[in-house]
């Protein structure tokens, strides 16, 4: 009887109890098969260790524990401080608590506060999500992540952003964290549902589902629930954030305080083809990238709407957003005047390492980003809008080129 591989590995690592260690040792002394396996395991461990050693810091740097503790304490304390700028009564439904029966009250409250006028205000959406994501990530990373995540829009305009020009401490801003935890409410209306057919998905998302015919295999079809993000602007806090990131020069429109903006995101379809294993999981707040080697993800969703009070100076907000992204005030002012902020999503992409281009796809103009890969491994993100429906495609694998992405996108039936 030979020793199982895992036990030999544990023996080599001195992870067996003393009695078992001795037993394995005795066996190894007399068993050439297990000796050979031990040698093979040991050799592989050495080789893999040599590679992993390259991840260790070449320049030792002691982590700043005291500073980090202070930052953590400040962050926790700030979140626990009651805020004076609450528009909503305390019976305001908690994020995600859609079964409390308070929605009607919210609607009434909303109607009293504003004459509701629905219109897309993409600049705000971008700003909100940019800031939301910045909590956990650095800004460029956040932008890249959200490319397929939340934004579903009508027109796309790409601007290139130099990572050096972004405020490096945005992700560390404690005021930003407070804003995200207290001024932004997120509600999800239901759970993610895995469905068995395109017809079922069509019923759930309220429009015919189109699927690419050029991908082999049965996709995993998931319907993402509708959701709503409500943002109550707190001008004092926004100013504090700008101060914190060293951009107190950026001017926001007057009279923002208390303005409530809601983003309604309809239910959408998510279809996964190929080897799409979910990411690490375990943390519902984090994006869960697909980690499969050859995976194509297709998203179809009706364009979200943003509701904001009439008269909101969208152009000025867009200008501030561009400045936060590193544009000079003159350029931002010029750019902001020449764009229809009510229908256009300005996609910021880092100016280094990312190759994007406008492409004709599905009969309209879309944007595709080829991500830097490793060796033969590639990935792309594609986004286009047709007839009020946002489509997104993400491919990764050895053949995930722009040409292949276009081929898949143009095969939608």
Partner 1 sequence: MTFSKRQIKAAQAGSETSDFDSLFQENWARVCALLFRLVGDWSEAEDLALDVFWRVYRRPPRSNLNLSGWLYRVATNLGFNALRSRRRRREYEEQAGYEALEHASPSDPAEVIQRRQTAESVRDTLSLMKPRSASILILRHSGMSYAEIAEALDLAPGSIGTLLARAEREFEANYPQSDDR
Residue 356's beta-bridge partner residues? Answer: 369
CA distances from 199 to 202, 206, 271 (A): 5, 10, 13
Question: Beta strand pairing status for 260-265 and 193-195?
Answer: unpaired
Binding residue (CB under 8 A) for partner 1 from 58, 101, 217, 310: 58
Q: Does 387 bind partner 1 (CB under 8 A)?
A: no
Nearer to partner 1, 22 or 387 (CB): 22
Q: Where are the alpha helices (DSSP H) in 81-195?
A: 103-113, 122-134, 139-146, 174-182
- Does 159 bind partner 1 (CB under 8 A)? Our answer is no
CB of 194 to partner 1, least distance (A): 20
The encoded tokens of residue 154 equal 């009508």
Closest to partner 1 by CB, 32 or 375: 375
Measured in whole angstroms, the distance separating CA 16 from the mean position of its chain's CA atoms is 43
Which listed residue (375, 388, 403, 413) binds partner 1 by CB under 8 A?
375
- Close Cβ partners of 43 (under 8 Å, ≥ 6 residues apart): none
Strands 155-161 and 344-350 turn out to be parallel
Give me the least distance between CB of 355 and partner 1, in Å please. Answer: 11
Task: Please say whether the beta carbons of 220 and 149 come within 8 A.
Answer: no
Q: Residue 323 in 3-state DSSP?
A: helix
Question: Which is closer to partner 1, CB of 163 or CB of 225?
Answer: 163
Residues between 220 and 249 with contacts to partner 1, criterion CB under 8 A: none
Contacting partner 1 (CB under 8 A), which of 18, 19, 30, 59? 59
Nearest one of 193, 248, 196 to 218, comparing CA atoms: 196
Candidate ranges 69-77, 322-330, 360-368, 385-393; the one touching partner 1 (CB under 8 A): 69-77
CB 304 within 8 A of CB 152: yes
Interface with partner 1 (CB under 8 A), residue from 230, 371, 384, 385: 371
Give the one residue of 100, 248, 251, 291 binding partner 1; rule: CB under 8 A: 291
Q: Counting contacts by CB under 8 A, is residue 47 touching partner 1?
A: yes
Identify the residue whose tokens are 């066996």. Answer: 27
Q: Which of 64, 108 has the CB closer to partner 1?
A: 64
Looking at the Cβ atoms of 98 and 145, the one nearer to partner 1 is 145
By CB under 8 A, is residue 42 in contact with partner 1? no
Q: Count H helices, E strands: the chain? A: 13, 14
Among 2, 13, 33, 358, the residue binding partner 1 under the rule CB under 8 A is: 13
CB of 57 to partner 1, least distance (A): 6
- 328 is an interface residue for partner 1 by CB under 8 A: no
Task: Kindly state the smallest distance separating residue 165's Cβ from partner 1, in Å.
Answer: 13
Q: Cα–Cα distance between 92 and 232 in angstroms, integer?
A: 13
Tokens for 164? 């050096």
Rg (CA), the chain: 26
Task: Decide: helix, strand or coil at residue 379.
Answer: strand
Residues 98-157 that bind partner 1 (CB under 8 A): 136-138, 140-141, 144-145
Residue 82 binds to partner 1 (criterion: CB under 8 A): no
Question: In which region does residue 258 sit, left (phi positive, over 0), alpha (psi from -120 to 50) or beta (all else)?
Answer: left
Query: Coil, strand, or helix at residue 405?
Result: helix
Kindly tell me which residue out of 18, 30, 32, 52 binds partner 1, with binding defined by CB under 8 A: 52
φ, ψ for residue 206, nearest 5 deg: 75, 25
Pattern 330-359, binding to partner 1, x per CB under 8 A? Answer: --------------------x-xxx-----
The interface with partner 1 within residues 246-285 (CB under 8 A) comprises: 277, 279-283, 285
Show the beta-strand stretches assigned E in 284-341. 295-302, 305-307
Q: How far is the CB of 199 from partner 1 (least distance, A)?
A: 33
Residues 6+ away with beta carbon under 8 Å from 103: 93
* Closest CB 61 distance from partner 1, rounded Å: 5
Cβ atoms of residues 228 and 200 within 8 Å: no
Options 63, 101, 217, 310; binder of partner 1; rule CB under 8 A: 63
Name the segment binding partner 1 (CB under 8 A); options: 56-64, 222-230, 357-365, 398-406. Answer: 56-64
Catalog residues that contact partner 1 under the rule CB under 8 A.
4-10, 13, 15, 41, 44-45, 47-49, 51-59, 61-65, 68-69, 71-72, 75-76, 136-138, 140-141, 144-145, 163, 171-172, 277, 279-283, 285-289, 291, 293, 350, 352-354, 371-375, 377
């Amino acid at each position: 009887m030979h020793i199982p591989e895992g036990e030999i590995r544990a023996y080599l690592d001195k992870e067996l109890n003393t009695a078992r260690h001795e037993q394995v040792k005795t066996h190894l002394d007399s068993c050439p098969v297990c000796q050979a396996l031990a040698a093979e395991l040991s050799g592989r461990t050495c080789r893999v260790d040599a590679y992993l050693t390259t991840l260790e810091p070449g320049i030792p740097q002691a982590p700043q524990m005291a500073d980090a503790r202070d930052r953590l304490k400040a962050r926790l304390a700030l979140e626990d401080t009651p805020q004076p700028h609450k528009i909503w009564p305390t019976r305001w439904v908690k994020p995600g608590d859609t079964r409390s029966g308070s929605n009607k009250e919210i609607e009434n409250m909303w109607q009293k506060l504003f004459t509701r006028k629905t219109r897309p205000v993409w600049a705000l959406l971008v700003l909100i999500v940019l800031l939301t994501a910045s909590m956990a990530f650095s800004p460029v990373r956040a932008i890249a992540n959200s490319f397929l995540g939340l934004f579903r829009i009508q027109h796309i305009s790409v601007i290139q952003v130099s990572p050096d020009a972004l405020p490096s401490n945005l992700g560390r801003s404690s005021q930003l964290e407070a804003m995200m935890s207290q001024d932004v409410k997120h509600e999800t209306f239901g759970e993610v549902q895995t469905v068995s057919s395109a017809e079922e998905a069509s019923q759930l998302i309220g429009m015919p589902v189109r699927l690419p015919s050029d991908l082999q295999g049965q996709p995993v079809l998931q319907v993402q629930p509708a959701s709503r993000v409500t943002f109550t602007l707190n001008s004092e806090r926004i100013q504090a954030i700008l101060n914190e990131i060293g951009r107190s020069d950026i001017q926001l429109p007057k009279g923002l305080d208390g303005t409530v903006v809601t983003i309604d995101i309809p239910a959408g379809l998510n279809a996964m083809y190929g080897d799409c294993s979910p990411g690490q999981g375990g943390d519902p707040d984090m994006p869960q990238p697909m980690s499969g080697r050859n995976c194509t993800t297709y998203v179809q969703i009706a364009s979200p709407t943003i509701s904001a009070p009439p008269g909101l100076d969208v152009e000025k907000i867009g200008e501030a957003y561009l400045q936060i992204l590193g544009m000079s005030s003159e350029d931002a002012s010029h750019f902001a005047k020449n764009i229809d902020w009510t229908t256009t999503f300005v996609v910021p992409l880092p100016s280094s390492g990312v190759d994007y281009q406008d492409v004709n796809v599905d009969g309209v103009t879309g944007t595709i980003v080829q991500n830097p890969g490793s060796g033969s491994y590639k990935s792309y993100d594609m986004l286009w809008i047709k007839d009020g429906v946002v489509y997104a495609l993400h491919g990764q694998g050895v053949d995930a080129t722009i040409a292949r992405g276009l081929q898949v996108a143009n095969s939608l039936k």
